[in-house]
Amino acid sequence: MKKIAVLASGNGTNLQALIDAINTGFIKNAEINVVISNRKQAYALERARNNDIEALWINSKEFLDCDEYNERILSELKSRGIDLVLLAGYMKVLNWKFARDFEGRIMNVHPSLIPAFCGKGFYGNRVHEAVLASGVKITGATVHFVDEGIDTGPIILQKAIMVRPDETVESLKERVLEVEHRLYPLAVKLFCENRLRVIGKKVIILPQTKQRRRNECQEEL
């Protein structure tokens, strides 16, 4: 059983998509053990409580600096034996030690097709505003492993959507969110099935084993 921790700062819609994917059996052999937020009022914490998941608020203002704050979160994760860390609208930057300690075991979902519209300063509505201002015809979402940079880790999955002529920031945000809600659970499913291999900057998705396919067919029957 893979133990998962989710770090979130806001509404937690991607968290809910992950919870639903586990509850329906789309993601097998996994459970979300804890949801951690830097914001006391983050609705993601309420979503966790509603689903009997430990909800933990850690106030970053109580720490001397970012490194001390990250060390506290690392301590919480290691004490629970966490296998995979998922960032879901988490508005704090992880330091180099965090990235190294959980190398290949931290995922993030970003509302654009990396390497476009990503990096420092590109988050939330700022991404969609930049997309619309640029005039590009295609955008989408990316799930990637987190490394020591900002949105620079190996890409796991991407899905594109067309930018409509009458698109607004709000409409584009909602459409991209729908993509994120499908893409993120799929990436986690692949991780929990041990089907992801990282070679340099590339992520290789391994095929399903015959035994797993046979088991899934039996479940459908």
Whether 128 is a known active-site residue: answer no
d(CA 216, CA 208): 11
Q: Which one of the listed residues 110, 128, 144, 181 is annotated catalytic? A: 110
Which residues are catalytic, by number?
110
